[in-house]
Structure 1
Amino acid sequence: MLSKSDDSLLPRRRRRLLPWLWKLPLAFVLVTVLQVLALRFIDPPFTAFMAARQLEAWGQGDWGFRLAHDWRDLDRMAATLPVSLVAAEDQNFAAHHGFDLAAIEKAQAHNKKMTARAEKRGRPVTRLRGASTISQQVAKNLFLWQGQNRVSRWARKGLEVWYTLLIETLWPKSRILEVYANVAEFGDGVYGGQAAAVRFFNKDAARLGPAESARLAAVLPAPRRYNAANPGPYVQRRARWIQRQVGQLGGKAYLEAL
């Protein structure tokens, strides 16, 4: 039971805390803006997803697991690779401001149809479609975690929106694409186009051909399931489609327009 003196301390403590309550959101905004602004000029040596994968491996007792990652500037990799990523993942990349609303609507309609079909047949839902833009994927890879519970998912989604807006505001499109090409996972523990080119094709990213670039982009829906060096029928079909889309986007001219 609180004494009178203890009881009088409570309002005083609340008054001391009140000035900090409005400062916390301001501090969050300031820190995250500086964080994103710095990465416009500084190449990130690792990402949140890379750190999580390494910790996961160690948690499973795989002490010999090592990430493969080697940064390459956009002008030091074959132009076909970043354009293939756009063709595969986000063809409205140059036009949108971080979120592709049309793609979101299409994905929702598709997923609703797939869910209804699966329920009718009494089977698990498969072939769901995402609508994350390249900007959103950069935000997730760099700053966020992979949570499973509902609270964690909602918190992560809110931060994803915030970081995506910051990235789109503070970075040019060419920088967003450059970072994505260097942090995307192309195989288990293989991050970025240079590491993937060496691992799967034994060559530098600057020497990748159109078909090889398309195959790397084709595995992105599930890089730990598919293999760019030994593609199955799905990856082969998707890679051929990506190559056609690259031609329609304009190839190297697309990058120069960014």
Structure 2
Amino acid sequence: MKRFFRIIIKIIGWFFVITIFLVVLFKWVPVPFTPLMAIRYFEHPEEEIRHDWVPMEEISPALPLAVVASEDQNFPNHNGFDYEAIKKAIEENKTRRRARGASTISQQTAKNVFLWPQSSWVRKGFEVYFTFLIELFWSKERILEVYLNSIEMGKGVYGAEAAAQFWFGKPAQSLSSSEAAAIAAVLPNPRQYNANPASSYIQQRKGWIQRQMQNLGRLNLE
């Protein structure tokens, strides 16, 4: 029994060492691949994986503003968890058929980079842990940079540069406000929706996101 507990303690110890090492490493090093990319590769081997990492300086300021306006308007202010949004989601889900989520950009980044997409209490627990770590070791700008370079933005399309080239035939640096809003509009289900040409539903979402972008004005991540 003592030997069993020693093994468990060693496993837990190595888990902390390895996960903290990876989080610190990705504070500086581009994330080359994510678990979701691997899963999609085996699910859809016919799809080409498009993923080109670019620094934040080579992404149009309109895109980070659009995804914050669309996904997590309190991103600059929270510590990784938006407790008001969580509380609101719990209340609304009591009367909704389809559950409303309250994941922040930090939580989505933790999930995209370190975990698998299927929802479960185990994954949620790991998501809380990795969200805490990236908020501890990374800046808000770095979290958003990793998010913009890792998130799925179409079938086989990952990150801002690949999305800009795939949907609009231009680099991420050249995206207009309207184009950035269109990409942000498909994020709830990027395998179902198209940023270009956009359906009437995506056009409506894009218009709402552009209005939210105007209300936010600019991002202050310091």
- TM-score, normalised with respect to structure 2: 0.95
Aligned residue identity for 2:158: Y
The CA deviation string for residues 162-187 of structure 1, in whole angstroms up to 9 with x for no partner, is 11100110100000000111111111
TM-aligned CA deviation for residue 147 of structure 1:
3.6
User: For residues 133-148 of structure 1, what are the structure 2 equivalents within 5 Å?
Assistant: 133-147=104-118
Q: Which amino acid aligns with 2:180?
A: S
1:44 equivalent in structure 2:
31
SS in 2 for 1:91: coil
Is residue 154 of structure 1 aligned with residue 87 of structure 2? no
Provide runs of 4+ in structure 1 moved above 3 Å: 14-18
1:50: Cα distance to partner? 0.8
Give the whole-Å Cα distance in 1 for the aligned partners of 2:101 and 2:114: 20
C-alpha distance in structure 2 between counterparts of 1:69 and 1:78, whole Å: 17
In the alignment of these two chains, the number of paired residues is 222
- Structure 1 gaps of 5+ residues are 1-13, 116-125
RMSD: 1.4
User: Whole-Å Cα distance in 2 between the matches of residues 101 and 142 of structure 1?
Assistant: 23
Q: Cα distance, 1:250 vs. partner? A: 2.0
Q: Distance in 1 between matches of 2:19 and 2:89?
A: 30
Structure having the larger proportion of residues in helix: 1
Residue number among 54, 62, 69 corresponding to 1:72 in the alignment:
54
* Displacement of 1:95: 0.7
Equivalent in the alignment of 1:10: none
Could you say which structure has the larger radius of gyration? 1
Instruction: Pick the aligned partner of 1:113 from 95, 100, 120.
Output: 95
CA positional deviation for 1:106: 1.4
The equivalent of 1:122 in structure 2 is none
Secondary structure of 2:187's counterpart equals coil
For normalisation by structure 1, the TM-score amounts to 0.82
**What is the CA-CA distance between 1:109 and the residue it aligns to?**
2.0
Q: Percent identity?
A: 46
Q: What is the CA deviation profile of residues 115-154 of structure 1, one whole-angstrom value per residue up to 9, with x for unaligned ones?
A: 3xxxxxxxxxx4x321100011011111111346xxxx12
Structure 2, unpaired ranges of 5+: none
